[in-house]
Amino acid sequence: MEKLKLNIKIFFQGAYLSYVGLFRWLRPSTYFATLVFGPLTQMLFFVLIGTYAQGSTKAQFYVIGNALMNAAMSGIYGVTMSIGGERWNGTLPYLFGAPANRMSLFLGRAFMHILNGMFGVITGLFWGWLLFHVDYSATDPWALLLTILITTFSTAGLGLLMGCIGLITRNVMFVNNTVYFVLLVFSGANLELSSLPRWMQMVSDYLPLTRGIASTRMIIAGQGLTEVIPLLVQEFGIGMMFALLGYTLFRWFEFTAKKRGTLEVF
């Protein structure tokens, strides 16, 4: 029991301290520019182009898709820097030298960004209601909140893997940008999955966000938690898969760095 309490303490303290220590988003102006107004401009871009081409009835489609992309913004960029930033700020040796439980430290890096991502999605949906009059009257709020939580966790799992790749590459932002735009195209955020080539649909099946966006659209259309549970279970499983791959890579990097006496694995 004492060990469990210690691991929980490490989880939350590590989550808070890594967020405070590694992020400049703590300045309100930077936070709102990055996580509120930046995603708003993306939503405006796709909604206005989409509704111009296909009619105003499609506004809800683009609003929901781009609101859920806010989860990817925090999950990929934020979580990646929570791990990769340890190396670039010179704190990675202290992390490897700490006797703390590695799983608690590793997963804790995603916690604050999951909260950020959920806030970003809710903010995006609010913009959709305010600017494009999206109707949420048929929505089950608890089912929607659970869907947002699982979707944000799933993208954070991918971010954990990207963060570990950041430990062995010098240009992780290029990788992050590539992954983000792949999700933008393949997840169904702005394109109907049924309109994509078969090979793209197959790729989307193995990506986070795809089922989260589909579930959110179903819930806002009036369907309940029962109808989307299978999709959410799969979304959670994909997030866990990426998180475990990231943890495996993290432990390999730690073992190799200690064996060679250097953080330059390659």
User: For 38-61, what is each residue's pLDDT tens digit?
Assistant: 888 888 899 988 887 776 668 899
Burial class, 76, CB count within 10 angstroms (exposed 0-12 / middle 13-18 / buried 19+): buried
* Phi and psi at residue 65, to the nearest 5°: -60, -45
The reply to whether 83 falls in a domain is yes
Residues with Cβ within 8 Å of 6's Cβ and at least 6 positions away in sequence, in order, are 101
Q: Distance (Å, rounded) from C-alpha 59 to C-alpha 36?
A: 19
235 within some domain: yes
> 133, 136, 118, 131: which is closest to 44 by C-alpha?
131
Bigger pLDDT: 238 vs 73 = 238
In a domain, 88, yes or no: yes
In a domain, 120, yes or no: yes
Q: Are 238 and 154 in contact (CB under 8 A)?
A: yes
Q: Is the pLDDT of residue 234 over 90?
A: yes
Q: Which pLDDT value is given to residue 17? A: 74
Q: Is residue 55 part of a domain?
A: yes
Residue-level pLDDT at 25 = 60
198: helix, coil or strand?
Answer: helix
- Give Cα 85 distance to the centre of its chain: 17
Report which of residues 169 and 213 the model is more confident about: 213
Q: Using only the alpha carbons of the chain, give its radius of gyration.
A: 19
Domain, as residue range, for 36: 2-260
Residue 73 lies in a domain: yes
- Counting Cα atoms < 13 Å in the Cβ hemisphere of 247 gives 18
Q: How many domains does the chain have?
A: 1
Residue 92: which of 104, 103, 106, 108 has the closest Cα?
106
Has residue 157 got a pLDDT over 80? yes
Tell me the mean pLDDT in the region 217-235: 94
Asked if residue 60 belongs to a domain, the reply is yes
What pLDDT sits at residue 261?
62
Q: What pTM does this model have? A: 0.89
Q: What does the block give as tokens for 181?
A: 């735009």
What mean pLDDT value characterizes the chain? 85
Residue 265 within any structural domain of the chain? no
